[in-house]
Chains A and B, each alone.
Chain A
Amino acid sequence: MMFMPKIIGFVCNWSLPAEVELTSPTRIHGYPKIHIVRVMCVGRIDPAIVLETLAKGADGVLVIGCHPPDCHYIEGNLQAEWKIKMLKKLISQAGLEPERLRLDWTYTFEIERFAKIVNDFRNKVRALGPSPLGVGSLDANMFLNINAAKSAAEDFRLRVMVGREELLIEDGNVYGEEVSQEEFDEIMDEAINSEYIRNRIYLMVKKEPLSVKDLSKHLGVDSRTVLGHIVVMRQRGWVTVDRVEGTSPLYTALEVGR
């Protein structure tokens, strides 16, 4: 049987073509169907919601807002752009193809463009194949990965960085130092990487106490880096030493710090 991808479309109230009926799934002029969730602004798309959608087995997530530089809410579409940029990096950390997530723009009168975007995206997702998180998937590792990504997206650090990206680049940091886009991206990449790994570690030690060596082997990250993360996580009150086996301490998760 041909693969019929499940696609969720988050569409802005002000760019959703008038012809699109808000039934789920909706059908446009014989173009492929898509499940549309209407939001007031694509800026409303919480990164955690996108990851939840992927975790629940959607094969693709399409986010459609107003063409920049036009936005009903001045720059809600740019807010969405920054969030999606971060999300793409985060899901590729989790081992999911970033192409499963796409942001695009339409105007209310661009029904053909809207249909074309949906069609192209659907073909793309079809080429990628079913999501490893889809119905019936038994890939426990992938579920841990996506949940780690979701936790990272719910945490303060990535959210505050995304929220302040524009301000940091345009106005500089609180010390009056200018931050270039390249510098910011570098810091952001590092933050995404470490926050993802920390949350992944947290989910692992939540199941059973593990040593740095075990974690390093599992994650394919060198033990020095893992130890660095453990130190930060202990400071944050996420983990503590459960017991010491031989010379290696085994770490376990704390509920309190989260």
Chain B
Amino acid sequence: MTLNIQEILVLQNRVAYARDEQAYKKLFLHFYPSLFRFSNSILNNESIAEEVVSDVMMRIWEMEIKLAYIDKLGLYLMTSIKNASFNQLPKTEKKLVDIEVIDENDFTNENPESRYIYTELQSRTEKAIQNLPKQCQLIYRLIREEGLSYKEVIAILEISQNTIEAQMRIALKRLRQTLNAYLYPKK
């Protein structure tokens, strides 16, 4: 379900003042996919990611009238998810350090747990993205997958424009290398 900015504001108000459950449900369904993806890309754990999103959305209901005063709900939610997700990581992982290589099999069609269907190339691309340094990966996903603007990414991750540019260069270069390896495999 996709809503535009005006519709979101209307629904926010209905939830804040009229405690309208249908309005709340519409907001939930609209935001859930991207919130879940974002949380999962930080945590790499679908179960905990679901819990994090549920807790954040619970707070949206509990804040009652204060909800009406939130200016950009999408941004607010993404920032909340970011903070809540990082809080769930074990202490050692809280800094944006490199993650280990992820098993390529996690992204194939043979994995029944996967929610997504991949071609061979997409599978390699996804693995390459997963192997990026954490912050680099998050920036790439927010820009490419969530379609956020630089300004929004700056607000959510609390980084500078220079950082975005530098990290996007790293990400795109890595993807280009992945594509080359696929097209011209070394024998």
A binds B: no
Question: Using a CB–CB distance below 8 Å, which chain A residues touch chain B?
Answer: none
